[in-house]
Amino acid sequence: MTISSSESSRYQTSAAQANPEIGHRIDVGGVLTNLHDLGEGQPVLLIHGSGPGVSAWANWRLVIPQLALQRRVIAPDMLGFGFTQRPADNHYSVDRWVQHAVDLLDTLDIAQADLVGNSFGGALSLALAIRHPERVRRLVLMGSAGVPFTLTPGLDAVWGYQPSIARMKSLMDTFAFNRDLVTDELAQLRYQASIQPGFQESFAAMFPAPRQRWVDALASREEDVRALPHETLVIHGREDQVIPLQTSLTLSDWIPNAQLHVYGRCGHWTQIEHAGRFARLVSDFLTEAQ
């Protein structure tokens, strides 16, 4: 499919007005990629998690404006997620997702960026830092996969989601410690996001049962993690039912230059349940290196 620059501009303007999850669409290594690109200065790449109907905007909407006050914030929908193109073969892997992120940096002519990865996105950020250490300045891993752990019932439910409002509401309860955040309106919005054309089909192809194998596939080797040279901030919610707190304890133990911050009374939505604190913590950590 070929889109002229004028057609693309008109599409992006009208689409963004209708749906804030749609930012700019650019060709990244042959993949039409939806991303949000705000602010100026040292670039930071935000890699979202893997929930049903997820998008970069849904994951990061509360912290992007704060982080963009001091730096350039780039938040893409990763391959097969959100409003980014789905591969024709419907095949997904860590190799493919990491390559998509590297191709994005190349397309934007960014030699080195800070990485902030959420959950599944943390595993991808970790793998990218291991494979391309020169492309990463500092690393933030939030509720991150990327090390071995036993599949939790919460993660099994997330990856095994079948669309319904009731199931989406149940997942929202799993994600959040603060039940005040889990409104019927939010469940309806995220349900509608999950049933947009192509969304559930690609999501179901990513993590079919049995799902422990996908936890294992996202895990980097211990010796590679221990060899990471990057200053790393590891963040977790103490009451996380999706990714166990132990993963962040392991990461903070294995990564030589790591610091660990655990939020009490917080589930898997650290960047939403503690948005202000999260943005300040990450901003301060990234600013240390400037």
For 49-80, the pLDDT digits (tens) are 999 999 999 999 999 999 999 999 999 999 99
> Is residue 119 annotated as part of the catalytic site, yes or no?
yes
Q: Which of 50, 194, 236, 240 is catalytic?
A: 240
DSSP category for residue 266: -
Query: What is the CATH code for 35-161+195-287?
Result: 3.40.50.1820
Tokens of 158: 């997330």
Please indicate, yes or no, whether the overall pTM of this predicted structure exceeds 0.75. yes
- Decide if 281 contacts 233 (C-beta within 8 A): yes
Which residue's entry shows tokens 């200053």? 231
The helix/strand/coil state of 263 is strand
> Is residue 89 annotated as part of the catalytic site, yes or no?
no
Work out the average pLDDT over 203-231: 98
Tokens of 15: 């689409």
> Is residue 268 annotated as part of the catalytic site, yes or no?
yes
| Res. 10: pLDDT tops 70 | no
The values of phi and psi at residue 22, to 5°, are -95, 120
Work out the average pLDDT over 155-164: 98
Query: Counting every residue, how long is the chain?
Result: 290
Q: Facing residues of 43 across strands? A: 72
Q: Where are the domains of the chain?
A: 35-161+195-287
Per-residue pLDDT tens over the stretch 245-283: 999 999 999 999 999 999 999 999 999 999 999 999 999
Q: Which of 119, 202, 248, 252 is catalytic?
A: 119
Residue-level pLDDT at 290? 74
